[in-house]
Amino acid sequence: MIAIRIVVFGRVQGVGYRDWLVRRAQALDIHGWVRNRSDGTVEALLSGEEAELIQLTLDCRKGPGMARVENLISEPAEAPASRGFQRLPTL
C-alpha cells in the first residue's frame, strides 16, 4: 500500500466534491480522508493499492458533474493510522 496527499484546485467546493470522493474512495477500497480548505481547495489523504490510487487520482481530475477542476497536485504521504475513508471538517 502507498499513500499520497492531493490538493484539488478550481470550482470544487459547494458542488458535492467531498461526498463524491468519499463514495469513489470507498468503492475502490481507498483509506484516508477528504476536507475543504479555507483557501477554496479540497485536500485529501489517499492510501491503497497503486492501481486504485492511480484510478482515483484520474477521477479526481474530473470530479463530479458540477465541479470544474483546474489543477491537482499530489505528493507522497504517510498512510493514515486508521482504515476507512471519512469526510473531515474544513481546515
Nearest to 6 by CA among 51, 57, 52: 57
Q: Is the dihedral of CA 73, 55, 82, 19 positive or negative?
A: positive
Residues with a known catalytic role: 18, 36
The cell numbers describing 7, all together, are 490538493
What is the rounded distance in angstroms from the CA atom of residue 51 to the CA atom of residue 87? Answer: 23
